[in-house]
Chain A
Amino acid sequence: MKTLYKKELNYYLNNPLGYIIVALFAVFANFFYIKDIFVVGQASMRTFFSILPWLFLIFIPAISMRSLSEEKRSNTLETLLTLPISESQIVVAKFLALLTVMGVGLGLTLALPIGLSFFSKLYLPEVIIGYIGLLFMGAFFIALSMFFSSQSKNQVLALLISVIIIFFLLIINSDFNSAVLPKFVQDYLSYFSPNYHLQNFIKGVIDIRSVFYFVSGTILFLFLTVIDLEKRG
């Protein structure tokens, strides 16, 4: 599994596209953070953390789209599945490589809050828990995008489907829904929104229900991806 993890990670390290996607993510994320400081006059990370899921909406499907669809298109999946490595090892190795790439992207957003903490009062545990929440959310979106990548030989189609599904998950508890749906429906639906669960982390609270939501969602989509690989006729 370590071998495949290294190979997958090397793909991003040796590919300009990987750098471009991660750099774009970091540039936009830092831009939104700086905008908060200078335009809104706020050094809090909360607004920044609330915006990041919308960057994940593009960033994560973009890095995940090729994970299995490219293997299917180029038939290298046959090579991989006829080597002594299990389907679950293949899926987990690819997942961990993507999680590492996402971690690098998130890591590139750390410089500003760290720098700012020298000049203003940033409540560090809240920042750390916020980042932990983003890691959980990112892992969930990666697993989801990998599953849709396994459903098509076309990377662009995999990207589009993942973006649409993540978009709907993100808007479940939006203000628009609050305005048009009865409250009990809205409360019920909110539980399925990753944004709703991220809010707890952003407030500096590790809610076990939110951890359960992200972990179970991640495991569910990884499991479905393994099942898809095991199917193969």
Chain B
Amino acid sequence: MISLRNITKRFNQKTAVEELNLKAKEGEIIGFLGPNGAGKTTTMRIILGFLRPTSGEVFIHKLNPIEDRIEVLKMIGYLPENNPLYQEMKVNEYLQFIADIKNTPDYENVAEDVGLSDVLTSKIEELSRGYKQRVGLAAAMISNPEILILDEPTSGLDPLEQDKIRELIKRIAKKKTIIFSTHILSEVEDVATRLIIINHGQLVYDGVKPSGRGGVEKLFKKLVRS
């Protein structure tokens, strides 16, 4: 479904991602870990075609995200880091706007799924951080895309809201490919079916989650320190 072959991305002299190879299949929930600046966001942006790789190839169902941008983006829902939203819009206006661009009749089921029904007529700028995150997630889920790319979906949320988002991710995961980045290692233990760790732009782990409580944390610290 998603295939990255020898992806390298350089910004001037700095290498953000180096010779990265990755394949993701339907039904996988991939926890994407790495310290700050490891290249997680860059990799996600390359998958989306938002950034052009310096070298290497990306395919989404045999389509190239740069050359077949529109077709690829129809298959992907994306929650960017820091969740940029049009603050001046009301929640229902924003979701309708996204639904119209994605050519989907309505957004109401998704809004209900993520618990936005009570705030649909509120302005986005007036919402709490947790609700804003739900708006971003709802926008990503509109049109029921095959692939969800979530860049730190629970960032800045309180523990209860984090739990709700995790439950939601697990619930919608069937027949989808989900790639999510996070700094919360227990989140990966709880949600992911596969673990990928990158450090300094290079893949250092790709495989199953270590078993046992705290297994992900131990592995992460071992690989990132070394």
Secondary structure dominating the interface of A: loop
User: Interface size (B, Cβ < 8 Å)?
Assistant: 29
Question: Smallest distance from the beta carbon of A44 to chain B beta carbons, Å?
Answer: 43
User: Interface size (A, Cβ < 8 Å)?
Assistant: 20
B98 on the interface (CB 8 Å rule)? Answer: yes
Question: Smallest distance from the beta carbon of B145 to chain A beta carbons, Å?
Answer: 10
Q: Which of B52, B98, B100, B102 contacts A233 (CB 8 A)?
A: B52
Residues of A within 8 A of B86 (CB): 7, 76
B84 on the interface (CB 8 Å rule)? Answer: yes
Within 8 A of A (CB), among B83-111: 84-89, 93, 97-98, 100-103
A133 to B102, CA, bound (A): 37
Q: Which of B55-63, B74-82, B189-197 contacts A (4 or more CB under 8 A)?
A: B74-82
B70 on the interface (CB 8 Å rule)? Answer: yes
Within 8 A of A (CB), among B34-69: 45, 48, 50-52, 69
Evaluate contact between B51 and A83: CB separation under 8 angstroms. Answer: no
Evaluate contact between B100 and A3: CB separation under 8 angstroms. Answer: yes
Question: Smallest distance from the beta carbon of B15 to chain A beta carbons, Å?
Answer: 14
Question: Smallest distance from the beta carbon of B89 to chain A beta carbons, Å?
Answer: 8
Given A7-B97, A83-B73, A84-B102: A232 and B82 interface contact (C-beta under 8 Å): no
Q: Residue of A at shortest CB range from B84? A: A75
Q: Residue of B at shortest CB range from A4? A: B101
A229 to B210, CA, bound (A): 42
Q: Which of B51, B70, B78, B103 contacts A86 (CB 8 A)?
A: B70
Evaluate contact between A233 and B85: CB separation under 8 angstroms. Answer: no
A120 on the interface (CB 8 Å rule)? Answer: no
Q: Which of B69, B82, B97, B98 contacts A75 (CB 8 A)?
A: B82
Residues of B within 8 A of A10 (CB): 93
A84 to B80, CA, bound (A): 15
A3 to B94, CA, bound (A): 11
Evaluate contact between B73 and A82: CB separation under 8 angstroms. Answer: yes
Q: Which of B45, B73, B87, B88 contacts A84 (CB 8 A)?
A: B73
Q: Which of B73, B80, B88 contacts A15 (CB 8 A)?
A: B88
Evaluate contact between A79 and B102: CB separation under 8 angstroms. Answer: no
Q: Which of B11, B74, B85 contacts A76 (CB 8 A)?
A: B85
Evaluate contact between B74 and A79: CB separation under 8 angstroms. Answer: no
Evaluate contact between A79 and B51: CB separation under 8 angstroms. Answer: no
Q: Which of B50, B85, B93, B101 contacts A85 (CB 8 A)?
A: B101
Given A76-B85, A82-B78, A83-B102: A3 and B97 interface contact (C-beta under 8 Å): yes
What are 27 A-B contacts defined by CB distance under 8 Å? A4-B101, A7-B86, A7-B97, A14-B88, A15-B88, A74-B84, A75-B84, A76-B85, A78-B50, A79-B80, A79-B84, A79-B139, A82-B76, A83-B73, A83-B98, A83-B101, A84-B70, A84-B71, A84-B74, A84-B101, A84-B103, A85-B70, A86-B70, A232-B50, A232-B52, A233-B11, A233-B52
A3-B97, A233-B51 known; 12 new pairs, CB 8 Å cut-off, are A7-B86, A76-B84, A78-B45, A78-B50, A79-B80, A79-B84, A79-B139, A83-B102, A84-B74, A84-B103, A85-B101, A232-B52
